[in-house]
Amino acid sequence: MIIYYLYKKTHQKTGLKYLGYTKRNPYTYTGSGSYWTAHLKKHGYAIDTEILLETDSKDEIKIKGQYYSTLWNIVNAKDSNGKKVWANLKPEAADGGSIPRTTPVLKSVGRKISKQLKGRINGPHTDERKQNIAKSKLGTHKGMTYEEIYGKKAKAIRKDRSIKLKKYINENPDIRAGKNNGNAKFYEFISPSKQLYSINGSIVQFCKQHSLNLTGVYKCINGQVDSYKDWQIKRLNISI
């Protein structure tokens, strides 16, 4: 059998009161109202608890809760200084419901929200904002190996991606068709002896011919290292 408690709590330091109900131990349960919990966080948890009703009927809790809410005017009652007497923002009806959306936002909360939104840009992003977004999407893994990122799972993940890539290439044979592919990239390789090579399309075969590891090559292309095996490598912004 569930026992419900209708209680009144009074803060020992500030005198603020709170009307609520619970199925827990009413003496250890501090209450859940947003205004009340914020008050406790600021002023401490030294509170007195008075049990107004103990029953196994939630309907009875609801009736008594509404009775005391009206009797003490718990939503609007204020002291001689204009401060709230009760922390309740709505009548206690044992429904656990939220505050109606028509309830005005406290001025202090409104000022805080306004301050947080100040300076935000509405509408299209500026070029600077777009660049910052692009940088943020680079993530924290740039330049790291699979092992550094995935640990023991690295081998399985690398194998899975390799299988998917081969499948994609087989299904799209034109993807590596060199100059016949409108999406092919242009690369410039300068050897240690300063010989220039211009490549359009796949660089895999070229790297094999010159004993270049693709990982090192792409680190150079992506700007992670200045050179690779004394080769200068970069991608050219050319379209065909």
C-alpha distances in angstroms, 18 versus 10, 86, 211, 215, 228?
6, 5, 77, 65, 70
The three-state DSSP-derived secondary structure of the chain is: CCCEEEEEEEECCCCCEEEEEECCCCCCCCCCCHHHHHHHHHHCCCEEEEEEEEECCHHHHHHHHHHHHHHHCCCCCECCCCCECECCCCCCCCCCCCCCCCCCCCHHHHHHHHHHHCCCCCCCCCHHHHHHHHHHCCCCCCCCCHHHHHHHHHHHHHHHHHHHHHHHHHHCHHHHCHHHCCCCCEEEEECCCCCEEEEECCCHHHHHHCCCCHHHHHHHHCCCCCCECCEEEEEECCCC
In this predicted model, which residue has the larger pLDDT, 38 or 94?
38
Architecture of domain 4-102: 3-Layer(aba) Sandwich (3.40)
Give the integer Cα–Cα distance in Å for 190 and 206.
12
pLDDT classification of 99: cutoffs 50, 70, 90: very low
Domains of the chain, residue spans: 4-102, 176-236
Give the integer Cα–Cα distance in Å for 11 and 14.
6
> pLDDT tens, 69-78?
999 999 999 9
The stretch 186-214 carries a mean pLDDT of: 88
> pLDDT tens, 14-50?
999 999 999 989 998 998 888 999 999 999 999 999 9
User: CB–CB of 89/33 below 8 Å?
Assistant: yes
The stretch 73-86 carries a mean pLDDT of: 93
Beta-bridge mates of residue 86:
17
Between 3.40.640.10, 1.20.140.10, 1.10.10.10, 1.25.40.320, what CATH number should domain 176-236 receive? 1.10.10.10
